[in-house]
Amino acid sequence: MSTAPASLFDKIRIVLVNTSHPGNIGGAARAMKNMGLSRLYLVAPKEYPADKAVWRAASAVDVLDGAVVVETLDEAIAECGLVVGTSARERRIPWPLLTPRECGERCWAELEQHEVAIVFGREDRGLTNEELHKCNYHVHIPANPAYSSLNLAAAVQVLAYEMRMAFLTAEKGAAPHFDDWDMPPAKQQALEMYYQHLQQTLEELGFLEADNPRQTMTRLRRLYNRTRLDEMELSILRGVLTATQNYIFHSKK
């Protein structure tokens, strides 16, 4: 049987946000182990630990045992260089979109460089727009338009399967290459700090109203996200913001 170097599969994390039914957590753990994945992150699960999760996990209890429970999505994706959010339906502001196959290929092409997260939403409401806007790409499983919402663990299964298919292709040496770049891409936590710094500066400039920054910040996030900023570029942009804030501070004196 084919196994990837443990370290590469270990760089993929499956993140479940605010899951209601522990059975789905167990089902997701099983789906992951079947496809060679092991790193499960649970963001504020409603009911966990739970017997139902253990029961549904069957022989993947080790994945549950290793699951990391955190309070916020930010904590779950902080060190990731690539974050993909899943969505059962189209959203108002479209985001760069991947098919499940492209998602597997993209992840596998970037795994050497950094950690990758695939984020799944709540059974009843999916991911919030705010959560989706923290992702580099969105992925939609092209299901029956008359009923496109899969069970959570089933959705994990589909994307984990595509991850495995991409691994098997990569193993044959036929994987698409991630362009060589002189700097690593900015990580999620650094990007989040940049967006906060940007919003704060734009408010100080009087360009953004503090009480209604929403759509503009979303569009700015999308703009920066399209370029996949690297660490050096991000640090230059932070410097520009700091210089702008200093200028505002001195001109007000």
| Calpha distance 253→245 (Å, rounded) | 13
Residues with Cβ within 8 Å of residue 248, at least 6 apart in sequence? 201, 204, 205
- Interaction of residue 148 with ligand SAH, rule CB under 6 A: yes
Is 19 or 201 the residue whose CB approaches ligand SAH more closely? 19
Is 104 or 121 the residue whose CB approaches ligand SAH more closely? 121
- Residue from 121, 132, 198, 224 binding ligand SAH (CB under 6 A): 121
Is 5 or 145 the residue whose CB approaches ligand SAH more closely? 145
Is 11 or 21 the residue whose CB approaches ligand SAH more closely? 21
| Calpha distance 216→222 (Å, rounded) | 10
Yes or no: say if 60 and 66 are a contact pair by the CB < 8 Å rule.
no
- Interaction of residue 192 with ligand SAH, rule CB under 6 A: no
Is 126 or 185 the residue whose CB approaches ligand SAH more closely? 126
Piece in contact with ligand SAH (CB under 6 A), picked from 2-10, 122-130, 171-179, 245-253: 122-130
Yes or no: say if 16 and 73 are a contact pair by the CB < 8 Å rule.
no
Rounded to a whole number of angstroms, the CA Rg of the chain reads 19
The interface mask with ligand SAH, positions 76-115, x = CB under 6 A, is ----------xxxx--------------------------
Give the nearest distance from C-beta 128 to ligand SAH in angstroms. 10
- Interaction of residue 140 with ligand SAH, rule CB under 6 A: yes
Piece in contact with ligand SAH (CB under 6 A), picked from 124-132, 177-185, 198-206, 243-251: 124-132
Give the nearest distance from C-beta 145 to ligand SAH in angstroms. 10
Is 56 or 140 the residue whose CB approaches ligand SAH more closely? 140
- Interaction of residue 149 with ligand SAH, rule CB under 6 A: yes
Closest CA to 169 of 106, 114, 98, 80: 106
Give the nearest distance from C-beta 142 to ligand SAH in angstroms. 7
Give the nearest distance from C-beta 92 to ligand SAH in angstroms. 13
Residues in contact with ligand SAH by CB under 6 A are 86-89, 120-121, 123-127, 140-141, 143, 148-150, 152, 155
